[in-house]
Amino acid sequence: MPRDGARNDSDSTDDGFKPSRRSYLKAAGAAAVSVPLLAGEGAAATERHGISFDNVVNMADAGADPNGNEPSDGALQSAASSNTLLKFPSGTYKFTQKNVISGGSVGIVGEGDVTFTVPDGFNDTLLAINGGSGALVENITIDQSGACPNLQVAPDDNLQVHDVTIEGQSLQSSDSAEDAFTPMIRSSGGSGTVKNLVAHNEGRMGAYARSGIWIGSSNKGTITLRNCNVEGFSNNGVYASRTPGVVKVEGGTYKNNDLSQVRIGSSGSYVDGATIEADVSDSRSPNPKDMLNGSGIRLESDRGGSGAVVRNCDVRIGPEVNADGGIQIFGNYGEFTIENTNVEYNPQGYSIRAKPGGSGSGTFKNVSVTGDASDWVGVLIEDRSGTTVKDCCIQQTGGGRTGLALHNCGGSTVKNSTINAGAQAVRVRNGDVNVSGIDKSGSCPAPNLDSSSYSGSSSGSSDSDSDDSGSDDSGNSSGDDSSSDSSSGSNDSDSKDSSGDDSSSDSDDSSNNDDGAGSDDELSGDVNESDVPEPSDSANFVVTDTDSSGGRIPYDVETSGKINKSGTGGATKDPNDDVSGKSASGGVNEWRDAYEYEGEIVSLEVDDRATIKLDGDEGTITVMGEDESGTDYSLEVTGELEHADDSTDPISDDNSSVSGGVGSFRDEYNYTGELVQASIEDSVSITTDPETLDE
């Protein structure tokens, strides 16, 4: 019986078994115990998962060594003729080289406990099945301990991968490491299913190396990932945002992968019913706190993708995770929908964010947002005119935390939602947004992390297990059949984005400009705020990790003029920081980041473990206000502060910090050393070059 231990399998097509969520979780860590999958040695015209095979070969009889003493590469290559099903009896089979099978339908099935091994240091494709009208790999365990073997299954149509496990602590390698699994459909009308794949890498975080599942540009069809479990990879769990084909993620658990757990973007793609989690306390990685960015779900595309859906998902990001979001929509992405989904986000950052530069509206329906994050914003939506937030629940009661913010989202609607936030419920900047029916108290449901198995969507058009027979919905993407690749014997040569955009080239906004909205009456109707000032002269901004306690320290800055990365003071110019237009975001960990910018710092978000240095060691800080009612601020430096004007806000006894307030005027301070902390609220900006300001 297969790994789920819940149904008998035969030579016939999948009978539609749908494991419960709890049974799948148990199955993911269980040893495989099964009875023979095929009856009748040498049976003709055998069909399995909708693929017909003319021949069946017992690989032990064909010369493969089930004791793992002799390499089985030669036996595999000799037996793997077109339209042939290769059965591996229980045992361990050693492979020492790349094995390429091209043309015709080929199947590989394990009977019982079947493990494929590779030598230590192996960093290549273990098995590549290319071309043909069908390809099957089932009930096989690949031991990747000390190596980086790749499994590639790439037919023209009817890809079927079932109950495959990839386990062991893989080779700790650089970005040249082979990805664990690369499925692809080479025909634009083709489809396939990957079901119950378990891939546990246990790799080093921060290595920016190996993906769990990589679906690149050679995939033209529709691939369904159903009830899979991918954990511990350093370059995305599922990296599927570079394909013109459709990717459907249904159920499953995606956990403790660096950069993202699931990343999609092509039109028609979705994540439905999945459990998404990052938690350093439950990681098998040797260095979980070195994770660059343990974000949850990312929607992004280098092809103008639009229309992806996240529904029925449970997303949780733990408190010690270096991350910048639970769900993120990049600025290169169009219209999107998030519905019936619970997000718990605990570190510094945004629970859900649609980044600036995007086109197309967002739809949020029955979305719950919880977590202990403080300051910043729970749900931040930027440049998304016509966005709808309806029947949602946002509970963000951490100090200074805004519940929902919409920037440049004219024509949008927020209605019939609970928004319980520590600072304010709703903030709107630059755009008319109709806000009504807001309850500013109450609690919201948290994610259910025991839920991971897909049994059909309640709101989508997904197919059921019937697509195991090869009848998945066809991909609706354009793109020609990449048939030339199928005969080359090479694995998918699609390279991941060399710019390292896993932190996105899109800007991160930190404009925590709380509008201080109070009663529901104040939240009703249209709300609008003015633009930021025009840029002036240039200056420098440096962020340095001075805490040395480990872990990524996030920051987010927006300026009134352009901002660009620089190498000031030996700062790094790595690709893991987001810079675009007037905003930049990133994180420092035992290094520094530096920027050149024009004008003023309009908003700034940074953890107090970091040190901020504006221009030289000696200078002037000017705090400018735009609200006659007054807005609070605080500053702290490593040296000393003194008033440079006639303001009277009290400076601390050691002259290193000040807490004050400004109305529609400014406060000025001379300082020495570096700026350690700057807390600025709505309608406040800071600059170190007051001479350039209009009087």
pLDDT tens digit sequence for 33-63:
222 333 334 445 799 999 999 999 999 999 9
Distance CA 372, CA 319 (A): 8
CA-based angle 363:228:92, to the nearest 5? 165
pLDDT at 532: 30
CB atoms within 10 A of CB 119: 13
pLDDT 10s digits, 320-361: 999 989 999 999 999 999 999 999 999 999 999 999 988 899
Cα 528 vs. chain centroid, distance in angstroms? Answer: 32
pLDDT 10s digits, 81-124: 999 999 999 999 999 999 999 988 999 999 999 999 999 999 99
Distance CA 490, CA 130 (A): 9
Handedness of CA 507, 508, 514, 518 (dihedral sign): positive
pLDDT 10s digits, 284-313: 999 999 999 999 999 999 888 999 999 999
Mean pLDDT of 254-264: 97
pLDDT at 608: 57
Token pair of 484, please? 């030339």
> Is the Cβ–Cβ distance between 563 and 596 less than 8 Å?
yes
> Is the Cβ–Cβ distance between 182 and 491 less than 8 Å?
yes
Distance CA 312, CA 462 (A): 13
Mean pLDDT of the chain: 79
Mean pLDDT of 127-135: 96
Block residue for tokens 């980044």: 355
Mean pLDDT of 655-659: 84
Distance CA 663, CA 647 (A): 12
Would the pLDDT of 264 be above 70?
yes
Would the pLDDT of 684 be above 70?
no
Helix (H) or strand (E) holding 116: strand 106-117
Mean pLDDT of 595-624: 68
pLDDT 10s digits, 481-518: 333 343 344 444 455 643 334 333 333 333 333 333 33
pLDDT 10s digits, 174-201: 567 999 999 999 999 999 999 999 999 9
Q: How many CA atoms lie within 13 A of 44 on its CB side?
A: 0
Cα 20 vs. chain centroid, distance in angstroms? Answer: 26
Distance CA 647, CA 116 (A): 74
- In 321-421, which ranges are E strands? 325-329, 336-345, 350-354, 362-370, 377-382, 388-390, 393-396, 402-407, 412-421
> Is the Cβ–Cβ distance between 349 and 322 less than 8 Å?
no
Would the pLDDT of 466 be above 60?
no
Which of 434, 414, 430 shows the shortest CA–CA distance to 528? 430
Distance CA 265, CA 215 (A): 11
Distance CA 466, CA 80 (A): 28
Would the pLDDT of 625 be above 80?
no
pLDDT 10s digits, 193-240: 999 999 999 888 988 899 999 999 999 999 999 999 999 999 999 999
Token pair of 387, please? 């966005």
CB atoms within 10 A of CB 367: 27
Looking at per-residue confidence, does 64 or 17 come out higher? Answer: 64
pLDDT at 109: 98
- Please give the span between the terminal C-alpha atoms of the chain, in angstroms, as a whole number: 80
